[in-house]
Structure 1
Amino acid sequence: MRADALERGGGTPAPELRDEAADLHRSLGRFLQLADAHLVRRGEAAGTQDLPLGTDWHWRPLIVRGRIRPGAAVAPQNGQHLGDEVALYHDCPHQALILRQVPNRRAADLAPYALTLEMMGFSGSYLSLALALPADLNPDLGRHHVIRLDATLHSERSIVVYGRLNIAQGPNTETILRQLGHPIDGRECRRTVEFDLGFAELSQRPVDKVWLDLIFEAPRMNAVTVTEAMLSRHPRAEM
């Protein structure tokens, strides 16, 4: 059944046909995201020359590599996703937030896209962006590793941002919290933070899931843009 037939009131589509169309829509959306990312693959190596010796894994989120559709979430619910990798968590009763992907246009930008979070009259007690890390990081991840975040951010007003790495093993989740240096103070700020897993209480069982939270302190009437984000892994120094 064609869409124009539905517009003319031409009957009700079968449930299985609607489900098939929904699956196709999701598949096409994912294809377009990956196709955009493929077009900028030549930029994947940008910035990797500064990674520590022994780095065996590095990754940029799709939201800075390729176009996300839809590209914005206005008045998002708690836990709402933008793309497959990013979710926004908050308790603002008025949902006075806008999360959107924007293009990077400067020649010096390493990533083709950026992520902007606008906070208008925020009245909640917490606000964080959760970034799901890919499963190919998990199989041999252990206490002998350091996970590193290299990010470039700027804000309209000074704001403190924390990074919290979360590692789930069965029913247990180990977390490591680090502040991203000095407050982001209205200028473009490059930040590097390392999460040393040697201090984490990890067991011998496989890692099920890893994600990174960016936590914003006192986010009222502000806007933060992440113009670059890259995560990498290298071995920790042996004592």
Structure 2
Amino acid sequence: MGKILDQYVSRKVLGRWRKAAQSAPFTALHLLRRQRDEARQFRLHLERLIQVADGRLTRPLIGSTSFPKPLGTDWAWRPDLWRGPLAKHGHASLSRKTSMDKQVTLFHDCDLGEIAIRQTRNTADKDLAPFSLALEIFEFTGSFLSLSIELPAEATFGLTRQHLIRASAQIECERPTGMFARLNIQHGPNTEQVLRELSYSDSSMSVDFDLAHLHLNERRVEKIWLDLIINDPRMNRIVLRDLTLCRHHRADL
């Protein structure tokens, strides 16, 4: 009975506001002013409800860590920027170093600063990450533009030269441009680096960083970060729809 009554009340309220909206051009001003103030109060609560509902009902769900992983994976991670909403969604006219959060920072050396960066919500059926990161670059006269992603401390625990670290991304560009991924591993005073080119044969791409040939002191690994380096970024819009990393052991031969 309560549900039927609620539906009846909702229909009556909706009908009242529909009639008020249709009559607004002819309503007396003193009544119109009262309706406007009341409507604003309703709108505040309705917009809050819609915002929360969109966040909870839109897929992929906020906080999702689901993505394909190779056999033998012992650590996997999607950075927070692709999992949940940031306090500040975007920046324009970027300085040479701009941090989106504690994990993701953009670097460049262009004096013009005609670069914008923004977090957006993913809604496509194929998306696994709840959010994307969109870069819009206009004139660019610098020599480099890179996105640095600092991996959490858990990525260093138990790391050995028998591991491969896989970086996977879904990237869309208005025009094709060269892009490289560089893994950096700090151990003591030294830093080892592995560079891989990202292929644009598909919007989904993965690269494996083999640690076997690095002069790596496994007992002193302190920090790992990934650099995504974009060549000739000018006059382009680049959207990173997803970015994930995982660690797995090399197959026994």
Q: Which of the five TM-score ranges fits, normalised by the shorter chain?
A: 0.7 to 0.9
Give the Cα–Cα distance (whole angstroms) in 2 for the partners of residues 141 and 79 of structure 1.
29
Secondary structure of the residue aligned to 1:205 is helix
* Residues 94-105 of structure 1 aligned to structure 2 (within 5 Å): 94-105=112-123
Give the Cα–Cα distance (whole angstroms) in 2 for the partners of residues 64 and 193 of structure 1.
19
Instruction: Give the aligned partner of residue 177 of structure 2.
Output: 159
The structural deviation recorded for 1:84 is: 1.2
In the alignment, structure 1 residue 191 sits paired with structure 2 residue 212: no
Q: Is the 8 A contact 1:92 1:123 kept in 2?
A: yes
Q: Show structure 1 runs of 4+ deviating over 4 A.
A: none
Deviations 1:24-44 (A, max 9, x none): xxxxxxxxxxx99xx634x32
Letter in structure 2 aligned against 1:55? T
Q: Is the 8 A contact 2:187 2:218 kept in 1?
A: no
Query: Identity of counterpart residues, as a percentage?
Result: 40
Give the Cα–Cα distance (whole angstroms) in 1 for the partners of residues 97 and 164 of structure 2.
28
Q: Is the 8 A contact 1:152 1:191 kept in 2?
A: yes
Q: Is the 8 A contact 2:196 2:207 kept in 1?
A: yes
Query: Which has the larger Rg?
Result: 2
Give the Cα–Cα distance (whole angstroms) in 1 for the partners of residues 252 and 142 of structure 2.
43
Report the RMSD for the aligned CA atoms in angstroms.
1.7
Q: Is the 8 A contact 2:165 2:246 kept in 1?
A: yes
* Residues 88-167 of structure 1 aligned to structure 2 (within 5 Å): 88-167=106-185
Q: Is the 8 A contact 2:161 2:218 kept in 1?
A: no
Secondary structure of the residue aligned to 1:199 is coil
**Structure 2 stretches of 5 or more lacking a match?**
1-54
Give the Cα–Cα distance (whole angstroms) in 2 for the partners of residues 211 and 201 of structure 1.
17
Letter in structure 2 aligned against 1:77? S
Equivalenced residue count is 195
Structure in which a larger fraction of residues adopt helix = 2
The structural deviation recorded for 1:106 is: 1.2
In the alignment, structure 1 residue 210 sits paired with structure 2 residue 224: yes
Deviations 1:90-120 (A, max 9, x none): 1000111111101112122101100011111
Give the Cα–Cα distance (whole angstroms) in 1 for the partners of residues 180 and 84 of structure 2.
25
Give the Cα–Cα distance (whole angstroms) in 2 for the partners of residues 233 and 75 of structure 1.
36
The TM-score normalised by the length of structure 2 is: 0.73
Give the Cα–Cα distance (whole angstroms) in 2 for the partners of residues 161 and 70 of structure 1.
26
Instruction: Give the aligned partner of residue 29 of structure 1.
Output: none
